[in-house]
Amino acid sequence: MPEEDLLAFLAQKSRNRLCDLSKTSELLRKAARDSYRLDKCMYEPLNISLASSFNCIQAYQKEIRLIEQAIDKCIKGMNTNALIILQSIPGIGPVWASGILSEIGDITAFHSSDALAKYAGLYWPKGDSGDFISEDNQMSKAGNPYLRYYLGEAANSVRKHIPEYADFYARKYAEVSKHQHKRALALTSRKFVRLVFGLLPKTNCTPAKSWTPNIISSRTDIRFLKYIPKVY
């Protein structure tokens, strides 16, 4: 195809949305030069393979919808205010929020964020003896493994949406040369526990949309207020 015809074709199909038609044209020509035409005997097997892949995708999407409906049905029996509060945290959706709430139960059973972290196994027992102070302590993992999983996955999602958590994760990631992601995620999860503990006790007295700095500053970081209006 002549260059002029190709440029006209690109302009028409893109509705003049392409900034540099010449560059796009060159990329298309390069892709055509680097490709090769399939033999006719391969057309049918390739079509069958693609159709099978699309059928699998549709089947997975159907199963996902059924699972989401089951999750929504279970969520309706939970504390509505608590769900709204947790889902107001950027990066937390109904799955992580409902999972955390189902494993925590009554937040008033924990007197502090440290107690909640210990219940989830997100703490590091000291290995000191005499004057020796251990610097390489393994995480306990003696608590609720399901709550630890939900907190870890939720923290991993939150760090992608809240800059403060992203910076904290990056800082902890750069401190060591081994097991960087696991260590940074565990410490980010521990930080996230303080946020969860600070927010959940408010569910019995204040709806999520009417929080004020005076209400929230006593239990959690006031810098989080700028993220609260964004509900997922």
In a shared domain, residues 59 and 145: no
The answer for residues whose C-beta is within 8 angstroms of residue 121's C-beta and 6 or more apart is 139, 140, 141, 142, 143, 144, 145, 148
In a shared domain, residues 118 and 67: no
Q: How many domains, the chain?
A: 2
CB 108 within 8 A of CB 204: no
In a shared domain, residues 68 and 149: no
Last residue of a domain, one of 77, 100, 124: 77
Among the ranges given (72-81, 134-143, 180-189), the one the predictor scored with the smallest mean pLDDT? 134-143
In a shared domain, residues 167 and 194: yes
Q: Is residue 9 part of a domain?
A: no
Q: Look at the block and give the residue holding tokens 């003696």.
A: 142
Q: What would the two tokens of residue 199 be?
A: 């927010």
Q: How confident is the model at residue 210 (pLDDT cuts 50, 70, 90)?
A: very low
In a shared domain, residues 54 and 106: no
pTM for the whole thing? Answer: 0.62
When pLDDT is averaged across residues 192-205 and rounded to a whole number, the result is 77
For residue 47, is pLDDT > 50? yes
3-state secondary structure of 129: strand
Domain with 133, as residue range(s), is 79-227
CB 94 within 8 A of CB 108: no
Task: List, for residues 112-167, the tens digit of each pLDDT value.
Answer: 899 999 999 888 777 666 666 656 667 777 889 999 999 999 999 999 999 999 99
